[in-house]
Amino acid sequence: MQYPNVHLAKFIDRPNRFISHCRLIETGEVVTVHVKNTGRTTILQPGVTTALVHNDNPNRKTAYDLVAAKKYDRQWINIDSQAPNKVVKSGLISNYIQLPGIESIATVNPETTYLDSRLDFSGTGDLGQRFFLEVKGVTLANQGIAAFPDAPTTRGLKHVLTLERAAQAGYFAYLLFVIQMKNIHKMTIDRDIFNDLALAIAKAQNNGVHVLAYDCQVEPGSLTLDQPILFDLDQPFVSDGLPSSIGHI
């Protein structure tokens, strides 16, 4: 996916989950920016380079969206929480994403309700197999290991339980982590943040839920789904120790 009207800026601070202040590199102007990820990311530290998308809509409270940041001035990380679903939809339609048990995907339907959950995708395979798929974006990483979540998520836990029930009912069920960066060799769950999710995923896997992960090529103005990454629940994750970018909420 491509972003229009991208501008580089230096991150200043993040007073709450929804906004930050950045200084445009080209003009030096300090602008108030909508952050397209409400999580407690450690990426947004003072002085890091960010990618902002300008929006001309006069009804918006902010003229810019913050979509990516350059961690340690080395690697771009996309933090747009809406982007993973967009690249996954394209990957499913094109059959770039390989779903275990389904050789070719025939139909893709976004946002489908099953039981008491709204899952990101449903669809059918070439032989009529019916599937559900839930997407989780990942921006937390350290030393080549990516991890989810960045905060306890009861919603994410509910999705895993629903996928497990779908698998037990005879559907194909998939949990897909989109790692919004490169240079990752394993994906895991941060048990220190939410061990209940790790336990639920282990149980769901035993009951037929497939857990997948893909990394992405990231530039200031683009996000491209790239390669499968090994998901390993037994892989320990050690935080980088940086504080959350969110100030007082």
Q: Supply the pTM of this predicted model.
A: 0.94
Domain that holds residue 43: 6-74
* 107 and 204 fall within a common domain: yes
Rounded distance between C-alpha atoms, residue 159 and residue 19, angstroms = 28
Rounded distance between C-alpha atoms, residue 164 and residue 11, angstroms = 41
Within-domain flag for 110: yes
Confidence of residue 246 (pLDDT cuts 50, 70, 90): low
Q: Say what the pLDDT of residue 3 is.
A: 97
Q: Number of structural domains, the chain?
A: 2
Confidence of residue 45 (pLDDT cuts 50, 70, 90): very high
* 59 and 98 fall within a common domain: no
Angle between helices 154-168 and 191-206 (to 10 degrees): 10
Q: Say if residue 7's pLDDT is above 60.
A: yes
Is the Cα torsion angle 99, 100, 105, 107 positive or negative in sign?
negative
Tens digit of pLDDT for each residue in 139-153?
A: 999 999 999 998 899
Q: 50-54, 57-61, 138-142, 171-175: which has the minimum mean pLDDT? A: 57-61
Tens digit of pLDDT for each residue in 163-205?
A: 999 999 999 999 999 999 999 999 999 999 999 999 999 999 9
Rounded distance between C-alpha atoms, residue 204 and residue 214, angstroms = 20
CATH number, residue 104:
3.40.1350.60
Q: Say what the pLDDT of residue 96 is.
A: 98
Tens digit of pLDDT for each residue in 211-240?
A: 999 999 999 999 999 999 999 999 999 988
* 67 and 92 fall within a common domain: no
Rounded distance between C-alpha atoms, residue 123 and residue 37, angstroms = 27
